[in-house]
Amino acid sequence: MPIQVFSEIGPLKRVLLHRPGAELEHLVPEALERLLFDDIPYLKGAQWEHDRFAAVLKENGVEVVYLSRLTAETLAQSPELRTNFVLDFLRESGPLALRYHNELFTYLMGMDDVHEMVLKTMGGVRFDELPHGNQDALTSLLHHRSDFALEPIPNLYFTRDPFASIGRGVALNRMYSVTRRRETLYGRYILEHHNDYAGQV
């Protein structure tokens, strides 16, 4: 289905959602302000509300598509796409992720399930999940093993923020906050490479 959005009040046909996941569970009090949250949401409650919302949409004839699934379908098309996505993602993930670039790259690329890898980029990667390498370096002693080498992206369920359908196109927005800049990458890869969208926008 090509993108055709010419009304703000017409019937919805297809909606892009993100189901709250590990990225909310991985919020910690000391990171709330940096990750643009005031409080830690209750994950099971957020998932219940989301599932009910998605069910209401489906009951009214709306096709619900999920950001993580579309991204995984896109990246599964070729090893080169997956590699490029991970490299771009790490580049946008801040100085700590760059410091542990090799370990994070090895960890993410070593995951057999592409969808699980996408969810991991969303939910964050703790130091104790990384393969050994720079783990013994002096700088690694500054971080607790349960700290995140790759921070979670808890704002992902606001899917209207990083990208929005307009007419026959999509606006990909550069997010103001460094915390949120990675969000646009998912949409960019889908729009450039997914079988249903590449060349349709």
- Other residues' Cβ atoms within 10 Å of the Cβ of residue 115: 16
> What CA–CA distance (Å, rounded) separates 191 from 201?
7
The two structure tokens encoding residue 82: 């997956």
Report pTM: 0.85
Show the beta-strand stretches assigned E in 81-186: 125-126, 148-150, 163-166, 169-172
pLDDT digits (tens, 9 = 90+) for 81-108: 999 999 999 999 988 899 999 999 999 9
Alpha carbon 48 to chain centroid distance? 20
Q: How far apart are CA 125 and CA 189, in angstroms?
A: 21
User: Which pLDDT score, from 0 to 100, does residue 102 have?
Assistant: 94
| Higher-confidence position of 154 and 60 | 60
User: What distance in Å separates the CA atoms of residue 197 and residue 50, rounded to the nearest whole number?
Assistant: 25
Q: How far apart are CA 190 and CA 64, in angstroms?
A: 16
Output the pLDDT for position 43: 78
Please check the confidence at residue 112 and state whether its pLDDT lies above 90.
Answer: yes
Q: Which residue has the higher pLDDT, 146 or 197?
A: 197
Q: In the prediction, which pLDDT does 38 show?
A: 73
- Structure confidence at residue 139 (pLDDT): 47
List, in order, residues 6 or more apart from 195 with CB less than 8 Å away: 73, 77
Does 117 have pLDDT greater than 90?
yes
| pLDDT value of position 141 | 44
